[in-house]
Amino acid sequence: MPLPKKSDNKLVIGLLNSFSQGKSGGDVVFAEILKRITGFQKIVITSGLGADFCKKMGLEAKFIITTKEEEFGKIMDIYLIRIIISIIFSLKIFLGGAIYNIISGSDFLPDVVPAFLLKLLRKKSIWIQHLFHIIPKSRVVSSFMQKISFALIKNKADYILVDNYILKAELEGLGFKKDRIIVNYPAVDHDLLSKIPLDTIKYDISFMAQLRRSKGVFEIVSIIEEVARTFPDVKVAIIGKGTEEIINKLNNQIKSSYCSSNIHLLGFMPSKEAYLLIKSSRLFLFPSHEEGFGIAPLEAQALGVPVVAYSLPVFDEIFPKGMIKVKEIGDINEIAKSIILALKNKNKLLTLSKDSLQNSKRFNWDVSANLERSLIKFYD
């Protein structure tokens, strides 16, 4: 792929170099925002999987591919290779003389290191850093890596876009400059979701996310076992992709459960198919332990499906309506009880559904993209 030249003065370099598999909320934010920033040449540094994801999301750009694995695994090895290759391409872009803007899709090192280098080389460039949450210290390696990213971001990023005011205050407490931190809410595709038809209810409960421990995936089976004591025929759909280790462990949990036939592990599904399934369910279960925003539950709300989740601090800001919140993270009995009460009360479900739709309409991709577009420079 020919790299940009000095004459290319309307250029945005996007970094989705930490893309793993399936899709995360941060991946969606990157694609939805960047595809709406018009009037610029766009180059995206990412993996082969990341390029496929961006294209499916409708993002038109030139793609610089760092790795081409078919399945994401051996995270540290893959990330190290991606960092090295992205550094090489960053140097080539700089030496070509192009003047650019930089957008980092996450605070993982494969997105931050090349952005830091590009900014260091071209001081007048604008570096916009997306940041979604602070990793708990209990996740020792990930937390340490984030601290390295934070040092680079704090030093050179022009703007840090966060998805809630709690995170903004936390970053200020860590020494980030207040005037650089901007809250810019993610959103959902209301045009698409409003057109998803409802045929018949096929599932009582659905779940969709990347299958990771932090999403509470290993609590789902225990929760459903409790629900099945009251509703023996409860039907549950789990949508999402994860590592082979997590898939095997979750499959073993399901197989050893007394209600294994109630739980369908469906893997990754294309967006429209996943939305059809979620809309055909009565409730959306989201037992995540840490979130910066929560695009998946917001998508469920936009489909008119109420959400049951743990009461994470940010959810009071993002989901004041249409979400049943369980106070204690990891309280399986209480979250199961909340599901049972909701399934027993059709009127409550109807009210929650209306509240869900109303809440989801507060968030709009065009508004979010316009804010980010206003930070980007045209260079003479």
CATH number at residue 141: 3.40.50.2000
Q: Determine the structural domain holding residue 216 and report its residue range.
A: 190-360
Q: Supply the pLDDT for residue 271.
A: 87
Q: Is residue 3 part of a domain?
A: no
Q: Supply the pLDDT for residue 251.
A: 94
Residue 32 shares a structural domain with residue 120: yes
Please enumerate, as own/partner, the contacts of 57-61 that have beta carbons within 8 Å and a separation of 24 or more. Answer: 57/28, 57/31, 57/32, 58/31, 59/31, 59/34, 59/35, 60/35, 61/14, 61/34
Q: Is residue 4 part of a domain?
A: no
Q: Quote the pTM value.
A: 0.84
Question: Shortest CA distance to 230 belongs to which of 346, 339, 352, 347?
Answer: 339
Q: Supply the pLDDT for residue 378.
A: 67
Residue 125 shares a structural domain with residue 152: yes
Give first-to-last CA distance, the chain, whole Å: 25
Both tokens assigned to 260: 């294994």
Residue 208 shares a structural domain with residue 323: yes
Strand 11-16 relative to strand 41-46: parallel, antiparallel, unpaired?
parallel
- The CA distances from residue 379 to 9, 40, 307, 333, 352, in Å, are 5, 11, 45, 58, 49
> Strand pairing partners for 46?
16, 65
Kindly compute the dihedral angle of the four CA atoms of residues 306, 251, 132, 108, in this order, to the nearest 10 degrees. -160
Q: Is residue 1 part of a domain?
A: no
Question: Shortest CA distance to 202 belongs to which of 232, 234, 231, 227?
Answer: 234
Helices (H), the chain: 25-36, 48-56, 75-95, 109-121, 140-156, 165-173, 190-194, 220-228, 244-256, 271-279, 295-302, 315-318, 332-344, 346-360, 365-373
Both tokens assigned to 106: 């996450």
Residue 78 shares a structural domain with residue 196: no
Q: Is residue 333 part of a domain?
A: yes
Residue 98 shares a structural domain with residue 204: no
Full pLDDT tens readout for the chain, 380 residues: 566 665 556 899 999 999 987 778 899 999 999 999 988 899 999 999 999 999 999 999 999 999 999 877 788 899 999 999 999 999 999 998 888 999 999 999 999 999 999 999 999 999 999 999 898 888 899 999 999 999 999 999 999 999 999 999 999 999 999 999 999 999 999 999 999 988 788 999 999 998 999 999 999 999 999 999 999 999 999 999 888 899 999 999 999 999 999 999 999 898 899 999 999 999 999 999 988 899 999 999 999 999 999 999 999 999 999 999 999 999 999 999 999 999 999 999 999 999 999 999 999 999 999 999 999 976 65
Q: Supply the pLDDT for residue 96.
A: 87
Residue 116 shares a structural domain with residue 175: yes
Q: Supply the pLDDT for residue 380.
A: 53
Q: Is residue 116 part of a domain?
A: yes
Q: Is residue 332 part of a domain?
A: yes
Q: Supply the pLDDT for residue 5.
A: 62
Residue 266 shares a structural domain with residue 301: yes
Cα 355 from chain centroid (whole Å)? 23
Q: Is residue 43 part of a domain?
A: yes
Q: Supply the pLDDT for residue 24.
A: 83
Residue 178 shares a structural domain with residue 201: no
- The CA distances from residue 323 to 108, 313, 327, in Å, are 30, 13, 12
Residue 204 shares a structural domain with residue 327: yes
Q: Supply the pLDDT for residue 71.
A: 78
Residue 183 shares a structural domain with residue 303: no
Domain count for the chain, please give it.
2
Residue 225 shares a structural domain with residue 271: yes
Residue 255 shares a structural domain with residue 123: no
Q: Supply the pLDDT for residue 344.
A: 95
Does residue 213 contact residue 243 with C-beta atoms inside 8 Å?
A: no
Q: How far is 165 from 343, CA to CA, in rounded Å?
A: 33
Does residue 145 contact residue 106 with C-beta atoms inside 8 Å?
A: no
Q: Supply the pLDDT for residue 215.
A: 94
Q: Is residue 379 part of a domain?
A: no
